[in-house]
Amino acid sequence: MKRAVFLDRDGVINRVVIKNGRPHPPASLESFELLPGVPEAIRSLRGAGFKVIVVTNQPDVATGVQRLDVVREIHAHMRDCLLLDDIKMCCHVDRDQCLCRKPKPGMLLEAAKEWDLDLQRSYMVGDRWRDIEAGRAARCKTILVGGGYAEPSVKNPDALVASLWEAAQLILTSRL
């Protein structure tokens, strides 16, 4: 079985817009901005044999704030410029009670089946409590990037780092 690094999108791969202390995704491809060190971090993880899979909640599609074609355009751009194995997306909101919306582990479990992944030897890297809870529910090691949003705090990630680059270094040196 293979190992994977699951990455949240907004706040881990790309810059977010902070409004009232909460992170928001880019509104368009033109406003999409990769964070420093992201391509290098992903390249390093892939070079070490990890599958790199984005798992992202995009509820703005369900609420009508964002168009699905814009999200797909951003994902196509990400596939073009990053060495990603897959992108899993949930467009539901909490009231839909779906199994894929983080903090539920549905996207990670689906990827594990499709890619023959050993979740206990895999990692979830995210910037919000939902990411860490999804990783924990899937039995992955969890790494919180940044944090500090005006929302529920993250309880006990396995590690706290400042960037995806730093998370990749922890993973690659087996310090987690």
Active site residue 96: no
Which range has the worst mean pLDDT, 18-22, 48-52, 81-85? 18-22
**Percent of the chain, pLDDT > 70?**
99
Task: Specify whether 60 is catalytic.
Answer: no
Report, as an integer, the average pLDDT of 158-164: 96
Distance CA 31, CA 33 (A): 6
Determine how many CB atoms are found less than 10 A away from the CB of residue 153. Answer: 9
CATH code given to domain 4-172: 3.40.50.1000
**Which helix or strand (DSSP H or E) is residue 133 part of?**
helix 129-137
Q: Which residues are within 8 A (CB) of 150 and not within 5 positions of it... i.e. 6 or more apart? A: 20, 21, 22
Res. 20: pLDDT tops 90? no
Instruction: Report the phi/psi class of residue 116: left, alpha or beta, with left for phi > 0 and alpha for psi in -120 to 50.
Output: left
